């Protein structure tokens, strides 16, 4: 009788079990990393908006600021305004709030 070369059923089951464990460990971490990145992005966007508000107020002594004014004067792009609104950042007086 010739001996056949290859993997046994037990060896294949062990490999599949190890792969399954690795997947169970990795997938929850990917989700939490995405949430963390989203929070960092939101905070950075708020900081950008507040910086542009401060620059506009310093240059014009305005009492209130709006997105259309910041966009018209070139402090923000249309894309930045859309992203800020999508993130729920609003402007009240001279302050960006989320």
- Domain borders along the chain are 38-98
pLDDT band, very low/low/confident/very high, at 1 (cuts 50, 70, 90): low
What's the pLDDT tens digit per position in 86-98? 989 988 888 888 8
Output the DSSP codes for the chain.
-PPPPS--HHHHHHHHHHHHHHHHHHHHHHHHHHHHHHHHHHHHHHHHHHHHHHHHHHHH--S---HHHHHHTTSS-HHHHHHHHHTT-EEETTEEE-
pTM score > 0.85 for this model?
A: no
């Amino acid at each position: 009788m010739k001996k056949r070369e290859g993997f046994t059923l037990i060896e294949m089951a062990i490999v599949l079990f190890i792969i399954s464990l690795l997947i169970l460990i990795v997938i929850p971490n990917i989700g939490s990393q995405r949430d963390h990145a989203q929070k960092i992005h939101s905070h950075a966007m708020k900081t950008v908006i507040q910086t542009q508000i401060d620059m506009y107020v310093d240059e014009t002594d305005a009492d209130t600021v709006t997105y259309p004014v910041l966009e018209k004067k070139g402090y923000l792009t249309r894309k930045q305004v859309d992203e800020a609104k999508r993130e729920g950042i609003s402007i009240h007086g001279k302050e960006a709030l989320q």
